[in-house]
Each structure stands twice: as structure tokens, then as C-alpha cells.
Amino acid sequence: MPLSRPSLTSLQSRAQTNIATRIDGAAPTLRRGILGALLAELSGALHSLYGFLQAESIESNPYTAVRTLPQWASIWGVQRRQPTTAAGAITLTGAPGASVAADSRLQRNGVEYAIDSDGVIGGGGTVDVAVTAITAGSDGNAAAGETLTFISPLAGVQAEAIVTAGGLTGGADLEDIEDMRQRMLAEIQEPPHGGSKADYVRWARSVGTITRAWCFPTYRGPGSVRVYVINDDYAGPELASAADVSAVFDYIDSDEIKPVGLVIEDPETPGTYINGLEVLAPEAEPVDFTIDDVPDDPAARVRIEAALQELFRREAVPEGSIALTKLITTIGAGTGVDNFTLSAPVASPSAPAGKILTLGTVTWL
């Protein structure tokens, strides 16, 4: 436990009591007395020392450390995931033959992007070009159909560009310190065993953009493994991009990582063998809610929706269910709502194969 730090007032009171009991006739509480001034200075210095010791006690072990957690984690080979930049393709529209120079800049919601290479508007009046966000982070991700705007107009090219079907993906923020702590504790508590269930989850979450992962051993029979991954920063309709899934597959399937013997018999061609590793992004299975008898209090409703969102993020598992009692408890606990009626769902929701439960639409009656 971190060191408890006494308040400045308690330190001053303690010092005054000590002086008064040890020196006959002393009056340390006099407003302009020399003893009072000395005790105030001493108490302030001691309070600062307690503050230093408290901060150091927090950093003294990996369970509470914040500033030094990356150093603690590095002992077990866990490195903090660094921010990455979003990239993808956009469609430019303009006069046929108009040129677009590499490094031309566009922006969206305060995020700046650079065109990767030169381009020329085709005969149909459009051309697709690759762009990369200038600054790393999830803010650079954008769904298909969103608009980017040129910072400086180009001759013969419309000011607005449209994100193509693949979206702008791959942007991730610096890993949250608590997420890193959980990965480190998993490494400590569940050390690698050459391909255990926990190993696959740990390997998947080592890829920079992956925030959640699950492993399903022997999913298609002996020798097979299915890994589900989610990138909570991805802006597209899926729960992770194709690039995210590919990156996880390539990492786990590398010679340095993949356990020997990860092969299965091809169900479509008996007698031949294929890689037994599958990496997928689960599809969302929204759960809609109908809640009645809740006061018309916007703040209370926002709290309820936030609590449900957190529940689904914490409890949902691909192809799994969430108990109805947990949903009811979450709505009522800590939200200031004493009575309510949950009209839907009426039973514990479950996700079919390949899907994961997510919060859908909340209807208030």
C-alpha cells in the first residue's frame, strides 16, 4: 500500500504539542513567536518529505507504479505500445490531367494528412491516392465516405476529397497505462507455455492497434486455433480493420512465435493440411434496450447508457452471452435510478458464431 501522507495541519499540531509538553512555559501557538515560526517551517519541510516518500512508495512496485511502469514492465519483456499513424486512400475529383503533388496536405477535424505520391486526375475526373496522417493517434482514423479538405487549394482539383471504401485505418494512441499494467500482470501471472490460450491473447494484444483479444483453442478440431481481435479505435463498421487482422495473423504466424504443429487437415480437401490459425474481427451483435419508468432526467439516462457501454466492453466475449441479471444490476447501480422497468431484452442475450454482443439503441418510454 502507498505511504499515507499526514496533512500539513496535523504535522503542525503534532509539533506544537511536542514543544508545549517538553519545554516549560513554551508558547508555540503565539502568532508572532519564534517557536511558532520555526515549527511552521519545519512542518512544511516535513510535509514535503512525506509527499516525496508517498510518491516513491507508489512507484516502488508494479501494482501501483505509473511513471515507472514502463521500466517495471520491461523486466518481463512487455513494452508500451507506441502511437501509430492512420493511412488509407482517398478519391480526388477534378479536371482530367490535373496533377496532385506528393506531400500535398489535407485536413479533417483538426488532423492533417499528406498525400504519399504524385497523382493525376484521370479521364473520368477522379483518381485515388494514398494518404498518411501527419500525427500519430486514433484521431487520424476515418470511415469510408468521410470528407478531407485541402489546406491549400490545387489548380483543377476540387477542395474536398472522399475516403475510399477501405477507410483510413491503423491510427492508435499511446497505450493507456492501465492497459499496459494488465498486459504486464498477465505476463507475470501466466508466463508463456509454448502456445497456451493466454499466450495467443497476449500475442494478439502485442500488436499496436489491438485493444481486446480472445482465443478459442481447437475451434476447428485438434491443431486449430481461432483468435478474435478488436480495435476499439477503428472508425469503420467492423470491430477491427483488415489490416489489423492481417497484422495479428502475421505476428502470431511468424517463425519466432508460432508453436510447432499448428496445422489441421483441410476439411475441403481431405489428406492435405493447412495452417490451423485463424484471426478474425468479430461482427457486432447489437442488443437494443427498452427502459420504462425512468425519470425524464437526461443526466441519469446518460449515466445509464455509459454504464451499459462499459459493461459490454468488459463482459462481452465473442460467441458468448451476458446474464440478464447483470444488465438489470448495471442499469440500477450507481445511477440514481431507484425504480425502472426493463421491457427489452427479456432474456440473457447471446451472440451467434463469429459475433460479439454490443450496446444497441436504448429506447426510453
Q: Could you read off the pLDDT of 119-150 as tens digits, one per residue?
A: 999 999 999 999 999 999 999 999 999 999 99
pLDDT digits (tens, 9 = 90+) for 220-233: 888 888 999 999 98
| pLDDT attached to residue 274 | 73
- CA 8 – CA 183 distance, rounded (Å): 38
- Inform me whether the pLDDT recorded for 335 exceeds 60: no
* pLDDT for the residue 218: 87
- Backbone φ/ψ region at 125: left (φ over 0), alpha (ψ -120 to 50), beta: left
Lowest mean pLDDT of 29-43, 187-201, 313-327, name the range: 29-43
Instruction: State the pLDDT at residue 136.
Output: 94
Within 8 A by CB and 6+ apart from 170, the residues are 84, 85, 86, 87, 88, 141, 209, 241, 243, 244
pLDDT at 237 over 60: yes
Q: Secondary structure of the chain in the HEC alphabet?
A: CCCCCCCHHHHHHHHHHHHHHHCCCCCCCCCCCHHHHHHHHHHHHHHHHHHHHHHHHHHCCCCCCCCCHHHHHHHCCCCCCCCECCEEEEEEEECCCCEECCCCEEEECCEEEEECCCEECCCCCEEEEEEEECCCCHHHCECCCCEEEECCCCCCECCEEEECCCCEECCECCCCHHHHHHHHHHHHHCCCCCCCHHHHHHHHHCCCCCCEEEEEECECECCCEEEEEECCCCCCCCCCCHHHHHHHHHHHCCCCCCCCCCEEECCCCCCCEEECEEEECCEEEEEEEEEECCCCCHHHHHHHHHHHHHHHHHHCCCCCECCHHHHHHHHHCCCCCCCCEEEECCCCCECCCCEEEEEEEEEEC
The predicted pLDDT at position 261 comes to 66
**Range from 97-111, 210-224, 270-284 that averages highest in pLDDT:** 97-111
Averaged pLDDT score across all residues of the chain: 88
Tell me if the bond preceding 295 is cis, omega within 30° of 0. Answer: no
Percent of the chain with pLDDT over 90: 55
pTM exceeds 0.85 for this model: no
For the cut 80, the answer to whether the pLDDT of residue 118 exceeds it is yes
Percentage of the chain exceeding pLDDT 70: 94
| pLDDT confidence of residue 224 | 85
d(CA 222, CA 204): 21
pLDDT at residue 44 above 80?
yes
The per-residue pLDDT for 84 is: 93
- The mean-pLDDT minimum among 163-172, 191-200, 239-248 falls in 191-200
Contact by Cβ (8 Å): 339, 266: no
Half-sphere exposure of 346 (CA within 13 A, CB side): 1
Tens digits of residue pLDDT in 246-271: 999 999 888 778 776 677 677 677 77
Q: Say which amino acid occupies 347.
A: A
HSE-CB of 168 using CA atoms within 13 angstroms: 36
Q: What does the alpha-carbon distance between residue 341 and residue 360 come to, in Å, rounded to a whole number? A: 18
